[in-house]
Structure 1
């Protein structure tokens, strides 16, 4: 028998291996931590954390600095101070039969959240005094929301900011989540000489419902810091921005609600609940002065009885605004509507619904102010303010007149805001329209409102290179693209044929924004391009040009020396419809996939671009001009001759001067594009 120590013994190597694998008692390894000194952490060296100087810093002769370990301290806890109005109320009054007093401190909580802790005590004291002193004509609804009257006069100088306007600026800055707090606009400071703006803190929803569209603007090249800094008159802190934010958030809330209400919010039926009496500073009940037969809308309007919008309009001023609506604004909005709902139907509804009346007059006033910059903007601001106050409590009814007011106010905001922010000013109305199930074949006024909004939606999509806010699948009753195309072809009238090309243009924007594989994208592109070319080939006679002449020396007098051909149409649907066709075809050719096969006799990109410019130069319908700003920019990027550049600049200047619609911003973009091509 072999001994275990013999080399051939099987236990010998195993025992030796076990002896080798037995771990030695090693020294404790220093583990890298995140609590070392700043020098070691910066150099990513292990720190033995000897204080006041660690070994590494002592060896290298460096200053050893240590960070402050974070900890929660009792003195930093944010709680409601004891001097809050809600905590200073006598709770015993709730049980001894005394009147219940609801104090709204939402504004104070929002402002304190973003304020420095050191200034908290002073701010609380000022806001407490303002909240405790209520006027005789303040009105609170059943939910405790308070709406204050508009101050009819100002005690300070014209250029001074009142504490009231300062509160509005602070609240708007808090609503922006501290992204773009800036100086108040000229509109805000100008209000010192006129009626003071209404305090809308009670109308603004919580901060959780504020802007969720920053990602889309970031994709379009807009930084979050400049998200609101360049939004026309809708600057942070301005009254326009305050009113727009309030209306936008309330529209979102209305669109999210499941079923419509038959009564406006926040008011309730007088027969269902009787408001709890509330005494003012003189001990007189506010509700006692309200007539018992007053309707809910009148009850809400009683809080705004001093609003200067309609009351302070003279007969001559009101006549001028209505005449401008009939002569200028309504033809803009009715350019694709043979029944002229905006010119004939809406004025009749405005006599019944005050919010629609204020919205229409506000748009008319704003267009005159844009066309004549020397005019003061106080009239449109007061009317816009009145429209928002009258519209907010009616949103829950979800009636057609409410949608009409929202669409009209969207047009006002499109005219006044920065074009890069169009989608923010359209998204609320888009949600409301989608929640009501309106589409392009609803019929009547709803159909006219839908197509008016979708034209703005397509223009916004062309600017931001995104799909429309209302998906194209919801523009028609539920059906496929081929079925929808056949439905449009079966529908008579030049107005619906023009709406058809708006639909095709929206389809193109949706196609460009998709992430389909190359094969699927090629199939969809070929199908859509075939529909677009079929639209042009099968146009009804009234969609054809009355006069079509090539560009040459003989016809320079016709188009004032324009280098583009002459294309004259007889009606607005033909003008904008053909221009949108050329725009859609140009974009489709620019986005053509490699494997796509073009139909025979397909026109080149330059042909479409030249006809886009020719349509705007030869046809001076103002409503069609407002929709041509973006197509001209798309076509202008293809042009290279200086004469073509001058002609495009001239038509941009005419559009802005004669309509008040912003166009020079695109002219400047084209100049920058051309200078890059020239290497300047």
Structure 2
């Protein structure tokens, strides 16, 4: 071999002597070495690194699925009773897309057979399985609310859910709501009354119901709970209504009605539908002797609130007498607690405001309410509602005293004088009660701040009276209203004209000052409107009169209540004959002065008590037709199921006395 040949064979010999090198990346190494960032020698069953460090050699699955051994996963063998339940949501999902539902054939469209969302469905039998028990504990709100949808898809989903919910509860829109007939005849077809569903809901799941319930809680429930420390109507009862369709529809009716009053985009069709539905539920329950009278009474009270909110309240008072009769059937009075107390005070409060407007006597004698009239000086806090109830009792007694003013004098001067002295003694008793109430109320019911008109930055003509708690505002309005009325109906006015005039002016200024500067008039609107109307009658300054009208407009904008008739009445009482060219001359200091002077020139012994309180001076006329002062309160003859003309005559069945009604008191 030559040297050249030896050099040629040398690389081949070297390459044969060097063994082939392993790949740099390990493919089947253990997971333990991979976590420690070490190169694994891939030894089995344990690699060298794990043996040296006494670690568990954990093995994984090769990505190429070659020569890989894994442990079998745990499997529970199926039993004979084991079934697979599927929930077909393909059509619901397809309906969210334009034209998606049309891809399913007509023969395959079984929307009516689909179960309610959230319920299991057995495809083997095509029959829904047992539903989830209705009384489940309320889950966390973050885990049950639906996901957000785009606007168009969300609207479609809400419409689908609402239609399905109406089918689920077995009722739909009434003919009286959408066929053009009015809802003034809710009892026109009692045979169509439906029975409330016994199922409970965890939450409201339609856009419409959520909106109307929010409006009720945040707008209507505020003034309904103005004398209730536990706030049943705005905080507690809405949750109970989830399981009571009758109660829920009454709430939704009030919310929809308020929304139609404050926003012209909403009509009253929805409100009438919920009102009619709640009324049918109520009438159907009244035919059942085993009914829950507490739910019935509460629903009737709320429906009465709906009617109060209507523009033609006197023509829509279908439930006020029924609510009173059901309250008496439940045995509720001023000594009740919980929902009974809330319904009682709301009902008598609304009636009292109507009596002050129409000069009626209160149908339910205040002496039968059971009010604790202990006027010992209050030293504890948190008793404001108790003192509010006491001033409501006093105002009711004053309303009865005013409505019972004799229209004619006795034939005998001696008999007339005796009657006059008796009425004056009663007037003094009412005046002493009112003064004692103001002297002994807790400090929290007195103003926190008081600014004279020249100190206010609002340039108001009335003082700024700052009261903190809503029930305190209501109580002070009732108190000042009582003082104004007492100044007007003093039977012996001849010797106390100046004193009564000054008393009336002072307390009228306080009423106007409270209502002019209250931050949120929605919570006290019901009382503020009537108190302000009574106080405004004696105003003589044009600037004050114009500001009162602006206050009424503000309350109307915030609450939607139709108070235009009050403006017209006040303008005529003030002598505003022509609004385009208002009279610059002012009315005499006290509006009823001409009454006193006229009577004194004819009959020196006559006093204001011989004339109706709503009478006006001879040069003025009433703003609108009102019931004559001699007409009795309509509730006197109907607010009891023992009366021959009691409410719900065609539907009422006496309750079973042994039934254990659901007394939800919410202490």
TM-score for both structures, normalised by structure 2: 0.53
Q: Is the 8 A contact 1:349 1:401 kept in 2?
A: no
Distance 1:334 1:537, change over 3 A: same
String of CA shifts for 1:553-576, please: whole Å, max 9, x gaps: x42x2xx22100010111111111
User: Does structure 1 residue 508 correspond to structure 2 residue 407?
Assistant: no
Q: Aligned pair in 2 of structure 1 residues 663, 417: CA closer, same or farther (>3 Å)?
A: closer
Deviations 1:345-383 (A, max 9, x none): 211321222100100011011011111123121111111
CA distance in 1 between partners of 2:341 and 2:521 (Å): 23
- Structure 1 match to 2:515: 616
Confirm whether residue 628 of structure 1 aligns to residue 528 of structure 2: yes
Aligned match of 1:494: 384
**Residue 239 in structure 1 maps to residue 139 in structure 2:** no
Given the alignment of the two structures, is residue 533 of structure 1 paired with residue 427 of structure 2, yes or no? no
Structure 1 position 605 matched with structure 2 position 496: no
- Are the structure 2 counterparts of residues 533 and 419 from structure 1 closer, same or farther at C-alpha, using a change threshold of 3 Å? farther
**Farther off after superposition, 667-676 or 383-392:** 667-676
- Residues 58-89 of structure 1: per-residue CA shift (max 9 Å, x gap): xxxxxxxxxxxxxxxxxxxxxxxxxxxxxxxx
Q: 1:437 deviation in Å? A: 2.8
Residues in 2 aligned to 1:522 and 1:474: alpha-carbon distance in whole angstroms: 23
Change (3 A) 1:470 1:521: same
The equivalent of 1:589 in structure 2 is 487
Name 2:215's counterpart in structure 1. 324
Q: Distance in 1 between matches of 2:539 and 2:315?
A: 27
CA distance in 2 between partners of 1:424 and 1:674 (Å): 35
Q: Distance in 2 between matches of 1:564 and 1:423?
A: 36
Instruction: After TM superposition, list the pairs within 5 Å mapping 1:111-150 onto structure 2.
Output: none
Which runs of 5 or more structure 2 residues have no equivalent in the other structure?
Answer: 1-171, 407-418, 578-582, 584-618, 621-667
TM-score normalised to the size of structure 1? 0.52
Query: Is residue 534 of structure 2 the alignment partner of residue 640 of structure 1?
Result: no
SS in 2 for 1:577: helix
Matched, 1:462 2:360: no
Mapping of 1:235-634 within 5 angstroms? Answer: 238-243=181-186, 300=195, 315-395=206-286, 397=291, 399-419=293-313, 426-476=320-370, 484-486=373-375, 493-514=383-404, 517-552=419-454, 554-555=455-456, 557=457, 560-594=458-492, 604-619=503-518, 620-634=520-534
Contact 2:225-2:234 within 8 A present in 1 as well: yes
State which drifts further: 670-679 or 459-468.
670-679
Match of 2:564?
A: 664
Offset of residue 627 of structure 1: 1.8
Q: Distance in 1 between matches of 2:431 and 2:532?
A: 21
Give the whole-Å Cα distance in 2 for the aligned partners of 1:596 and 1:538.
31
Q: CA deviation at 1:338?
A: 1.5
Q: What is the CA deviation profile of residues 602-643 of structure 1, one whole-angstrom value per residue up to 9, with x for unaligned ones?
A: 861100111111111111331212321111111111111111
Aligned partner of residue 567 in structure 1, secondary structure: strand
The structure-2 alpha-carbon separation of the partners of 1:512 and 1:490, relative to structure 1 and needing over 3 Å to count, comes to farther
What does 1:173-184 correspond to in 2, within 5 Å? Answer: none
Secondary structure of residue in 2 paired with 1:615: helix
Equivalent residues of 1:568, 1:615 under 8 A apart: yes
**Secondary structure of 2:465's aligned partner:** strand
Mapped partners of 1:433, 1:596: distance in 2? 44
SS state at 2:450 partner: strand
CA-to-aligned-CA distance 1:248-297 (integer Å, 9 cap, x gap) = xx9xxxxxxxxxxxxxxx99xxxxxxxxxxxxxxxxxxxxxxxxxxxxx9
1:441/1:387 CA distance change after superposition, 3 Å: same
Aligned residue pairs, count: 388
CA distance in 2, matches of 1:383, 1:437: 28
CA distance in structure 1 between the partners assigned to 2:309 and 2:534 by the alignment: 20
CA-based RMSD of the aligned residues comes to: 3.6
Secondary structure at the aligned position of 1:240 is classed as coil
CA distance in 2 between counterparts of 1:608 and 1:637 reads 12
Q: Which of the two has higher C-alpha Rg? A: 2
Measure, in 2, the Cα distance between the counterparts of 1:246 and 1:363: 21
- The 3 A distance-change label for structure 1 pair 415 and 347 is same
Unaligned stretches of 5+ residues in structure 1: 1-194, 201-236, 251-265, 268-296, 303-309, 478-482
In structure 2, the CA distance between the partners of 1:568 and 1:515, relative to structure 1 (3 Å rule), is closer
Q: Residue 340 and residue 315 in structure 1: after superposition, are their counterparts in 2 closer, same or farther (change >3 A)?
A: same
Cα drift, residue 451 of structure 1: 0.6
Checking the alignment, whether the CA contact within 8 Å between 1:355 and 1:387 is kept in structure 2 is yes
**Contact 2:226/2:471 (CA < 8 Å) preserved in 1?**
yes
Query: Cα distance 1:597–1:409, how it changes in 2: closer, same or farther (>3 A)?
Result: farther
Paired with 1:494 and 1:330, the residues of 2 have a C-alpha distance of 19
Paired with 2:217 and 2:377, the residues of 1 have a C-alpha distance of 30
Contact 1:324–1:364 (8 Å) recurs in 2 = yes
Partner Cα separation in structure 2 for residue 380 and residue 663 of structure 1:
20
**How far did 1:246 drift?**
6.2
* More RCO (CA 8 Å, sep 6+): 2
Partner SS for 2:279 = helix
1:652 aligned to 530, 552, 556, which one? Answer: 552
Is the Cα–Cα contact under 8 Å of residues 483 and 503 in structure 2 kept in the other structure? Answer: no
Q: Could you say which residue in structure 2 is the equivalent of 1:153? A: none
Closer, same or farther in 2 for the Cα pair 1:500/1:246, shift >3 Å? Answer: farther
In 2, Cα distance between the equivalents of 1:368 and 1:390? 23
Q: Call closer, same or farther: CA 1:519–1:561 in 2, change over 3 Å.
A: same
Once residues 670 and 421 of structure 1 are traced to their aligned partners in structure 2, the CA distance between those partners, rounded to angstroms, is 23
Q: How much has 1:594 moved relative to structure 2?
A: 0.9
Instruction: Summarize deviations over 1:92-114 as a string: whole Å, max 9, x none.
Output: xxxxxxxxxxxxxxxxxxxxxxx
